[in-house]
Structure 1
Amino acid sequence: MLLIAVIIGMGISICAFGTGGKRAKVFEDIYFSVEDVNDMGIIYTKGGDYTAILKIRNPIRKYSASKASYYDFISLFSSILQLLGEGYALHKQDVFVRKQFDMNSIAAKGKSSISKRFLSDSYFRFFHGRSYVAHETFLMITRKGKKGTIHSYDPAKWKDFLVKIQKVHDRLKVSNVECSFLKAEECKRYADRFFAMDFKNATVSMSDFKVTSEEIGMGKHHIKAYSLLDVDQVGLPGMLRPYSESQVGNSILSEDLLSSIDSLPEVDTLVYNQVIFLPNQKREIMKLDKKKNRHASIPNPNNQIAVEDIEKVQSEIVRNGKMLVYAHYNMVVKISGDKDFQKITNSLENLFARHSIHISKRAYNQLELFVGSFPGNCFRLNKEYDRFLTLSEPALCLMYKEHQQQGDSSPLKCYYTDRQGLPLPIDITGKEGKVKYTNNSNFFVLGPSGSGKSFFMNSVMRQYYEQDTDVVIVDTGDSYEGICNYFGGSYISYSKEKPISMNPFKISELEYKENFGEKKNFLKSLIFQLFKGTDYPSKIEDTVINQTITEYYEAYFHPFDNFSKDERRQMKEILLLEDKKNGKYDQYEKELEDRYEQLSEEKDMTSRNSRLVNKLQAVVEDTAATEGEKQAALHQLQRLTPELVEKNYLQRIERKIDKIERQKRSLKVSELSFNTYYEFALVRIPQLIVQQKIEFAIHDFAAILKPFYKGGERSHILNNDLDATLFDEKFIVFEIDKVKDDPILFPIIVLIIMDVFTQKMRIKKGRKCLVIEEAWKAIATPVMASYIKYLYKTARKHWAMVGVVTQEIQDITSSPIVKEAIINNSDVFMLLDQSKFKDKFSEIQSTLALTDNDCQKIFTINGLDNKEGRSPFMEVFIKRGLKGDVFGVEEPPECYMVYTTEKQEKEALKLYMQLLHSDYRTAVETFVRDWKLSGITKSLDFSRKVLKERKVFNYKHP
């Protein structure tokens, strides 16, 4: 009885699962060989099919929100299907693999100091080991072999295959799709990896292989093939678009129909197989006709609907040249052996139900689906129940079209995360990377209060400085105190006891020779800021101040002695022309006419007078004649000839030039400062008023500028030399919060700080960056517009960038200065959470020239369901040129403590540094270690504990 029971059990097992011999051979019966042909790997199956494999990058960036790009994808692949034609199959595999992120390969290496690397190393350690989903895409082009056997060879079809696969490659390249053919060895490795469902380990190995009707076991893992559509009930919606729309906060986000398959729960590996078979079009159309006639022969509502549907399909084929194709889709999912597939099945059903698509409930042919999904083996998929007939466009809609955001290849790498939390190197300048997005790297940052502007800018400045950038920041709120202390930079805070003072008038002779035009424009802006405030200067005022600055520096670098002969001649001509123009010359001539009545009557000179004129002229020119004789002869000549009137008038001009020469010689400049310029201007401007007969409010000028002159209330501001060490300092913060409400002093200080940066920019080598926080509003005046524009335009010529940071929407919508001088000269925009501005964002959109696509991305900031497994973070939209994306600003606790603007956290950190008698870096390191070991979640709570107990806890690791 025992023997009979065993035999019966074996019989049942063989009936249910087979002997195993047939299944063991199923993998041996797939491939015949793999070889390189024309530098391309070609896979031959034992069924006579041959395949080339292209590794491609899907053309649409995930979260790009571009509807047009999805339709472009359909157009591109429709053209590829048209190119291939009958007998071909297009098999696309998207492979998603969960991996652990390894930052060691990109972590900062040992060129910089340990102190300088501390925050970067903390950042890399923070992300090391983070789980993420890697994605690769392979496109297989398979030609059906003749009569289904490798022994049948058709040279015409083979040649056609080689030509067409090259054309597919070229068409992808033309459409900017990254692609390359796998070589033979790569094809073998890829087939082995698919067989083992292992796309992440360096060495691929196979474990126990067990097949049931529901799944396939592979050692410690098991896999399941989901056939997405049931041929008996395809379940496609009446209308299918190549994208879906999701509600994210107050915005609609356009994304792929299957965008969520990269985030299915508990999945180790997922391969999405998308196969399109290209049949004989005439034969399929004839089949449709027969089917339509069959339905029409039985008049009932269901058959009538079927007839109408077929007629619509036929109309599309005839009118728009659409193709009939057979399609198949499945997902091969691998998970750990201790988990089951129910959660994944539910997720897939929910995913497709959103698009009115129902996945197959009867995918019992697990081994058949798995084998048919092998690279190059797609024609093994069963014609009866694994393929369904449709038009090419709906079939392509179900293809996966996206790729994850990619980092930049650039010497300047600032790390921010993509939207799944994966750190990426980003070239924020937009112009230093392999791909150039911009012409200049000036930037504009907009974010309402509480959106994290300061935190984000701290991150940017840290990474710039660590990559050898000179940083100058103008701040009004201690936002950069921590990072300046960490880097050991210069933190200059304005106070009455120690005000910020400089000497913007002092320049070197080299600077005078090479950059005086730039310096003069700055000084004009400075003087008019003092003199006119927010009012425009008149043309006369601009001309006079321009002349005084020019003559002031000329007097210092080239002290005046006298005019040269050429200068005197030119001045004579100019002054004579000016007097003829203003009537003075005519008046003088009239006086001579009245004095010598005969002058007007002697129109025709007699020969006697002519001889007399010659004699008198000889006396005037005779060097031996006395001065009295010459004067008498000259008076007689004036009686006899009108031409001599002008010569006599030139003598008067000579005396005027002599006077100007004496005045100019008396204008001496012993040293360069506002004091000496003020003295120079008060002497020179009245002279110009008299000489040029112009109007200038010299008394107003003198009174308004007097407080900055020696003895005045603010004489120290513009007359003290700047600390020379600042020129070599690489990280400088000017904190001017205490004077932000002073309408006179605030803009002056901001302006002279900008001049400090300008000197750095022109002279120092390497990359430079100036950041103006809310202080920029102090200089956004009509008077300053030209200088700001000049600074922005000049920066890019000196490997420099200027950034403005603001939080108020009115700042950019109400000021023409902002738009014309700042925004129009910025190629990089950085916007934080704008949800507060949504109702009036159209103004910002217009001012910043943002596209509707940009706005769609901006309003998804902080709105995605991407928080799981991540520490608190915020997102920012960065647009470089025409390219804009949303990135995550996620930093480790060490960086957080350096960036924080929370007063209690800053005080607690300062207390740690005081009690430890340590430098800033050591205090941060110890504080963060104690915070982590304390078990307190929030740093603010731990800071309060530190301030309350006033001690260093020095917790030990358990």
Structure 2
Amino acid sequence: MRNVMKAATLESRFPLMAVEHGCIISKDADITVAYRVELPEVFTLTRAEYEALHSTWAKAVRVLPNYSIVHKQDIFIEESYRPDICRDDLSFLSRSFERHFNERPYLNHTCYLFLTKTTKEHSRTTSSFNALTRGFIIPKEMQDKDTVARFLECCGQFERIVNDSGLLRMVRLTDEEITGTETSAGIIEKYFSLSQENTTSLQDITLGAGEMKVGDNLLCLHTLSETEDLPSSVGTDSRYERLSTDRSDCRLSFAAPIGILLTCNHIVNQYLFIDDSAENLRKFEQTARNMHSLSRYSRSNQINREWIEEYLNEAHSKGLTSIRAHCNVFAWSDDREKLKRIKNDVGSQIALMEAKPRQNTVDVPTLFWAAIPGNAGDFPSEESFYTFIEQALCLFIGETSYKDSLSPFGIRMVDRLTGKPVHLDISDLPMKNGTITNRNKFILGPSGSGKSFFTNHMVRQYYEQGAHVLLVDTGNSYQGLCSLIHARTHGEDGIYFTYEESDPIAFNPFYVEDGVFDIEKKESIKTLILTLWKRDDEPPTRAEEVALSNAVNLFLEKIRTDSTVVPSFNTFYEFIRDEFQEILKTKRTREKDFDVWGFLNVLEPYYKGGEYDFLLNSDRQLDLLGKRFIVFELDNIRDNKVLLPIVTIIIMETFISKMRKLKGIRKMILIEECWKALASANMSNYIRYLFKTVRKFFGEAVVVTQEVEDIISSPIVKGTIINNSDCKILLDQRKYVNKFDEIQSLLGLTDKERAQILSINMANSPSRKYKEVWIGLGGTQSAVYATEVSPEEYCTYTTEETEKLEVMRLTRKLGGNIELAIKQLAESKRKK
């Protein structure tokens, strides 16, 4: 039966014939090579880097032969975050974090690049004679083998130039990625379904008068296809005012307003048509002469001649290549009212580029068909405008949304632009690819900047991924998290040490569970005794150092051989008093070389009956080696010149023991505001050793401070900590904006990093509660992320005393069930 329907089938108008050897072949015999493009993350490039990006594209485009088409397609799809809460290994707080972001809308960006080789005849196709309007297709001119081979060779050169830039990455698509398989959709199928899902279903396409529909979605189209619509000037990048200050510049690509900043479903197609430049210029010469002849009849002819002359002068004087270009934005929605708002949004974003927004209702089907991957040769030539390669490339979108780290280990942060969770590895992957040489971190943030929330969020995730975490705190910042871990592990972990008059911190530096005193243990005991004995401004003599070393070694040998000796400071004191001074007499050691009675007199406060006899004689032989989350809260002794240095040294010794004995296990020590202890001469050796050695033992040292003066005044921090911390983390620095030059110089920050830091919290979304944080890795990789947490995490991390007391009160009321208390408080916060 003959088909008498006026409607045509999709198959009859489908312009592609086959996909072979990674090439798309159209029914007009055009050959297309398809790539997936990975762009830099938004807010991470400077003006110089945008210029380098632009230069890379320009170099790559120049290698293509005549009658080639560059089609860059950026697809932005609105999606909702789908939390992975079915895993058994998720903790209470991780699950609450995932649930908090459930259905969070964000914009998913995918970028493709299609390089098409067409013919001179086909490059002049018009909208009245394209694949949609022709009843049958027979190409007048075919590509020969040599032409195809040369084109594929040029595509390889194009790919190498782009990938060698270090800013972009192009990956050639395989046949299966183009056409799809039985289980996953290819890029052509995804395009027709207006989706980037792996499993898509094709829907009816309706081409009506002034309206096009794909399924239930109504399409609208804005084009930049005429010279009078274009901006008066273009650039590689533009200043993003919302995140810029008078002291810093935040840059985005020139076309960013129609890219990541346009928050609706849309596709941006950018075309470059590489014709014969010499022939184009000859045509313009002829047109200019004609205009000159007709200039006496019309002033507009004279003006047009002047414009053409200027174009020709530019081309000849600078050796520029004449090409045609086009840019369009397809947006869609299944709601007519919403589509009206989207049309206004697209128009306003185009106007931000200083271009004239023009909605095209006539050519929607034609341009939609031309944007099919591999069908750029079917683009109607009257929709393009003449320009040069450099100017046309300014319409290329240069950035994408934040990307997840390709690493199993990491922390969950949030995209500052869309609010979508991002998996970020700031330890292992950067070490592996050479971005950093150590995992140490330096965190700087004034009070109220969200520093405690970030550090709580980070250490909690480290702990849940198997790391041993030791925290030295002054301010009870980790009390909530530690209490939760203690409750979850039934007291096996989450050990919290604090100094109370009724229950002071007590240690036994001479106790080791396995009875082995290695070199590090001996050195830590010597450092401890030296700290008790000498003031910071009173260095020991060489004779005193030797005598002390002998005393410690002999006492440790006695512990090892005599089981009746109880290891403690008391027995060490008695050994010096009763035995060691006799040994010194036999060696004829003079009193001026080592004054035993003076030594014992200074150490007497730590011996039984002394003021601090509790400190070093603990009978609770607590082994911290197997405990994975330990907090030392030193707030009550932060100004005690005697206790603070001693306790800090013992804490360091605890971590170094973990560092040495826990092979292949991640370890982290985080030191909060303990500068007075760190500034001592004896302590500085520990810090230097720790920061330089910890990386060799799969560990990382983290120092947190809120005062700029602390950095500047401490030579230890200035020299050792900053120089050996390849990961620097800064929070809101607007309090120090007038001092920031000094901070920038001290931390060795670039102007790009400075601009990123000063943009923190400048344009936060009022609908979300979060604080931003800047993370820099090795001086080469940096970005600003958001620390946004669930109400459950907020109740756990909060440092507000009233909120902490509320958690404790409800915990007691519920019989010590802190998790249930947090759940109830979080629920009440949601209702409010």
Q: TM-score, normalised by structure 2?
A: 0.87
The answer to whether the 8 Å contact 1:789/1:825 transfers is no
What residue ranges of structure 1 are gaps of 5+ in the alignment?
A: 1-18, 562-666, 937-958
For 1:72, give the aligned amino acid: A
Deviation at 1:305, TM superposition (A): 7.4
Q: 1:283 to 1:688 in 2, by over 3 A?
A: farther
Q: Which has the higher helix share?
A: 1
Q: Distance in 1 between matches of 2:55 and 2:700?
A: 41
Structure 2 SS opposite 1:142: strand
Q: Which residue of 1 aligns with 2:222?
A: 226
For 1:491, give the aligned amino acid: Y
Deviation at 1:671, TM superposition (A): 5.4
Q: Distance in 1 between matches of 2:630 and 2:817?
A: 19
Deviations 1:205-228 (A, max 9, x none): 213514232x31234220012112
The answer to whether the 8 Å contact 2:511/2:621 transfers is no
Deviation at 1:142, TM superposition (A): 0.7
Is 718-727 or 740-749 further displaced after alignment?
718-727
Q: What percent of counterpart residues are identical?
A: 31
Q: Which residue of 2 aligns with 1:758?
A: 656
Q: Which residue of 2 aligns with 1:716?
A: 614
2:250 is aligned with 1:253 = yes
Structure 2 SS opposite 1:33: strand
Pick from 839, 842, 846 the counterpart of residue 745 of structure 2: 846
Structure 1 SS opposite 2:249: strand
Structure 2 SS opposite 1:403: coil
Structure 2 SS opposite 1:774: coil
Q: 1:122 to 1:302 in 2, by over 3 A?
A: same
2:31 is aligned with 1:50 = yes
Q: Which residue of 2 aligns with 1:137?
A: 111
The answer to whether the 8 Å contact 1:57/1:179 transfers is yes
Q: Which residue of 2 aligns with 1:807?
A: 706
Q: 1:249 to 1:265 in 2, by over 3 A?
A: closer
Q: 1:678 to 1:823 in 2, by over 3 A?
A: farther
RMSD: 3.2
Structure 2 SS opposite 1:406: coil
Structure 2 SS opposite 1:180: strand
Deviation at 1:26, TM superposition (A): 8.2
Q: Distance in 1 between matches of 2:436 and 2:810?
A: 44
How do 1:370-385 residues align onto structure 2 when only pairs under 5 Å count? 370-384=368-382
Deviations 1:665-715 (A, max 9, x none): xx9995544345445667559769964796567776554333223332112
Q: Distance in 1 between matches of 2:284 and 2:120?
A: 26
Deviation at 1:495, TM superposition (A): 1.1
The answer to whether the 8 Å contact 1:90/1:277 transfers is yes
Pick from 899, 908, 920 the counterpart of residue 806 of structure 2: 908
2:764 is aligned with 1:873 = no
Q: Distance in 2 between matches of 1:312 and 1:408?
A: 49
Deviation at 1:343, TM superposition (A): 2.5
Count of equivalent residues: 789
2:389 is aligned with 1:415 = no
Is 349-358 or 699-708 further displaced after alignment?
699-708
Q: Which residue of 1 aligns with 2:392?
A: 395
Pick from 27, 37, 51 the counterpart of residue 71 of structure 1: 51
Q: Which residue of 1 aligns with 2:170?
A: 179
Deviation at 1:321, TM superposition (A): 3.6
Deviation at 1:500, TM superposition (A): 0.9
The answer to whether the 8 Å contact 1:30/1:377 transfers is no
For 1:745, give the aligned amino acid: L
Q: Which residue of 2 aligns with 1:235?
A: 230
Q: Distance in 2 between matches of 1:688 and 1:858?
A: 65
Q: Distance in 1 between matches of 2:786 and 2:543?
A: 51
Q: Which residue of 2 aligns with 1:570?
A: none
Q: Which residue of 2 aligns with 1:545?
A: 545
2:64 is aligned with 1:84 = yes
Q: Distance in 1 between matches of 2:677 and 2:475?
A: 15
Deviation at 1:811, TM superposition (A): 0.7
Is 175-184 or 877-886 further displaced after alignment?
175-184
Q: Which residue of 2 aligns with 1:531?
A: 533
Deviation at 1:919, TM superposition (A): 2.0
The answer to whether the 8 Å contact 2:543/2:594 transfers is no
Q: Distance in 2 between matches of 1:753 and 1:786?
A: 14
The answer to whether the 8 Å contact 1:191/1:374 transfers is yes
For 2:669, give the aligned amino acid: L
Deviation at 1:790, TM superposition (A): 0.5
Q: Which residue of 1 aligns with 2:327?
A: 329
How do 1:654-733 residues align onto structure 2 when only pairs under 5 Å count? 672-678=567-573, 691=589, 701-721=599-619, 723-733=621-631
Structure 2 SS opposite 1:252: coil
The answer to whether the 8 Å contact 1:123/1:891 transfers is yes
Deviations 1:36-76 (A, max 9, x none): 22xx1x22223332212111212x22110322221122121
Q: Distance in 2 between matches of 1:340 and 1:752?
A: 64
For 1:373, give the aligned amino acid: A
Q: 1:235 to 1:387 in 2, by over 3 A?
A: same
Q: Distance in 2 between matches of 1:536 and 1:359?
A: 76
Q: 1:119 to 1:877 in 2, by over 3 A?
A: same
For 1:884, give the aligned amino acid: S
Deviation at 1:372, TM superposition (A): 2.0
Q: Distance in 2 between matches of 1:535 and 1:319?
A: 73
Q: 1:700 to 1:354 in 2, by over 3 A?
A: farther
2:18 is aligned with 1:34 = yes
Q: Which residue of 2 aligns with 1:124?
A: 98
Q: Distance in 1 between matches of 2:563 and 2:465?
A: 47
Deviation at 1:559, TM superposition (A): 10
Deviation at 1:246, TM superposition (A): 2.5
Q: 1:719 to 1:382 in 2, by over 3 A?
A: same
The answer to whether the 8 Å contact 1:99/1:200 transfers is no
Structure 2 SS opposite 1:402: coil
For 2:241, give the aligned amino acid: S
Q: 1:170 to 1:266 in 2, by over 3 A?
A: closer
Deviation at 1:95, TM superposition (A): 0.4
The answer to whether the 8 Å contact 1:674/1:719 transfers is yes
Q: Distance in 1 between matches of 2:559 and 2:217?
A: 90
Q: Distance in 2 between matches of 1:82 and 1:692?
A: 86
The answer to whether the 8 Å contact 1:430/1:828 transfers is no
Deviation at 1:91, TM superposition (A): 0.4
The answer to whether the 8 Å contact 2:456/2:478 transfers is yes
The answer to whether the 8 Å contact 1:535/1:783 transfers is no
The answer to whether the 8 Å contact 2:72/2:113 transfers is yes
Q: Distance in 1 between matches of 2:86 and 2:410?
A: 11
Q: 1:26 to 1:753 in 2, by over 3 A?
A: closer
What residue ranges of structure 2 are gaps of 5+ in the alignment?
A: 123-137, 180-185, 487-493
Structure 2 SS opposite 1:748: helix
Deviations 1:729-761 (A, max 9, x none): 221112221111212212221221221222222
Pick from 252, 264, 271 the counterpart of residue 267 of structure 2: 271
2:352 is aligned with 1:350 = no
Q: Distance in 2 between matches of 1:309 and 1:691?
A: 100
Structure 2 SS opposite 1:370: helix
Q: Distance in 2 between matches of 1:686 and 1:396?
A: 84
Q: 1:546 to 1:229 in 2, by over 3 A?
A: farther
